[in-house]
Amino acid sequence: MITYEYPFNERIRTLLRLEDLYEKFIFFLHQEHPQQHHIALSTIFEMLEVAGRADLKSDLLQELERQKQTLLGFKSNPNVQAERLDAILADVDRSSAALVATQGKTGQNVRDNEWLMSIRGRTIIPGGACEFDLPSYYAWQHRTAQQRFADISNWFAPLVPLFDAISVVLRLLRESGRSAKAIATGGSYQQMLQGKVYQMLRLTIDEKLGAIPEISANKYMLWIRFTAQDGDMKPRPFEGEVPFELTLCNF
């Protein structure tokens, strides 16, 4: 099964992009080849571009506080598992406290490092990080994998609270939805949303069908058009019925 996610607003779109970059970063950080560590470092630079919005930290803090108040409202509900609720509340409190403790603009430690900024300036140029352009970076790449791992981890460390908060917010958002089975007729599906505001859509489909969803939505209408890929990967309309599972998520 493949799960596709579609954000309904720019804030969730930004969080999903950062989550995707974080997953890429962690993968390449734990590899050993210098080229793989180059991608891990370049991914940090991409994170700074995406997370450059000054209000991202405050948005996350507000969202965590709002979630905390909502969850506290379930305390008196006898149908709620108290231990699980307490664990979630503890995660929210921990993430909020760590985020509050961070100082300055997101990634300011990287921006203040002239050497890293020189690498960042060259990596945006195609082929700009060659050894003759950045001999000191080339020398760094010849350090042991353990040394490079430690350096990159230290440069990333101040960003950890931000990505921890993003993880908590997106987890709570995903768990807030209720799944329903649906069928697209003739490769197309429409659903009226009655003006209700959602944050994210999740669509799960059997990969064996070969159907790829193209999603568009606003607060009134959801439209999903399924396509398939030819041998040259060019999308074409999918013909026939497409069963899938739909989850509309909202805090």
**141-168, pLDDT tens digit by residue?**
999 999 999 999 999 999 999 999 999 9
The pLDDT value recorded for residue 208 is: 86
**Domains observed in the chain:** 10-171 (1.10.3900.10), 177-249 (2.60.440.10)
Residue-wise pLDDT for 22-74, tens only, equals: 999 999 999 999 999 999 999 999 999 888 765 788 888 888 888 888 888 77
Mean per-residue pLDDT, 174-190: 86
With helix as H, strand as E and coil as C, how does 58-117 read?
HHHHHHHHHHHHHHHCCCCCCCCCHHHHHHHHHHHHHHHHHHHHCCCCCCHHHHCCHHHH
Q: What is the pLDDT of residue 36?
A: 95
For the segment 102-110, the average pLDDT, to the nearest whole number, is: 82
pLDDT of 203 over the 80 cut? yes
Say what the pLDDT of residue 192 is.
Answer: 87
Confidence of residue 6 (pLDDT cuts 50, 70, 90): very high
Give the angle 67-19-55 at the CA atoms, nearest 5°.
Answer: 60
**20 pLDDT above the threshold of 90:** yes
